[in-house]
Structure 1
């Protein structure tokens, strides 16, 4: 009985944890950091047509579906702060997981993603 209870407790803890380990950053925090000398690397993980329709100034486009193919190019940013965004958070979360699995440790997700950025303009 104790083993079953322990297993169920562990399962509950795992299922209630977020699907990504990355921290988050608000739009206001990002704006402040962008105006500082230590501006983060901003990566837009949406598709090209979405990026071309509008993006955060200075953002690099690396579509989430191809992020594993761009790890060599992103390697130069491995020690930098990185902020990821998309439209809903799903693609940014998947990209954060891929980067963290590749050894990137300073990955954050933009709260509210691109719609929050647009609303704050």
Structure 2
């Protein structure tokens, strides 16, 4: 007991650092994030549809081959017209993954239960040396 009282600050630091290390694992457990390689498998095996939620100028500069561009601000209005089949896996992509996570929530609200975000966005796609095309 004396050890705990004398070293309470070190124990607090150890617990805090452990919590910070575990936070990404806890936070990422239910986000629906998917690696670039996992996305390729879904595209090949289940004919997943890639939806790029970046702005048209960003999309034109380079995007996942075969992706459809539906900017995040217009997702609720245009997604059902762009991707009619709600049973296929829907892969959301943006520059780094942040907008794609918000897009997944919107897509699920619209009935796309298999919507997932590609973790790291187009950046991780390029880092995995996967094909990118320009409009």
CA distance in 1, matches of 2:41, 2:117: 15
Deviates more, 1:68-77 or 1:40-49: 68-77
Tell me, yes or no, if structure 1 residue 39 matches structure 2 residue 76: no
Partner SS for 1:109: strand
Deviates more, 1:85-94 or 1:26-35: 26-35
Q: CA deviation at 1:45?
A: 0.3
Partner SS for 2:63: coil
Residues 34-113 of structure 1 aligned to structure 2 (within 5 Å): 34-36=43-45, 38-74=46-82, 76-113=84-121
Partner SS for 1:77: coil
Q: CA deviation at 1:51?
A: 0.6
Give me the TM-score of the superposition, normalised by structure 1. 0.75
Equivalent residues, number? 105
Is the Cα contact below 8 Å between 1:22 and 1:107 reproduced in 2? no
Q: CA deviation at 1:113?
A: 0.7
* Residues 26-70 of structure 1: per-residue CA shift (max 9 Å, x gap): 11122233333x221000000101111100001000001110111
Name which one, 1 or 2, has greater alpha-carbon Rg. 2
Gaps of 5+ in 2: 1-22, 130-135
Among 24, 34, 37, the residue aligned to 1:25: 34
Is the Cα contact below 8 Å between 1:44 and 1:62 reproduced in 2? yes
Give me the TM-score of the superposition, normalised by structure 2. 0.68
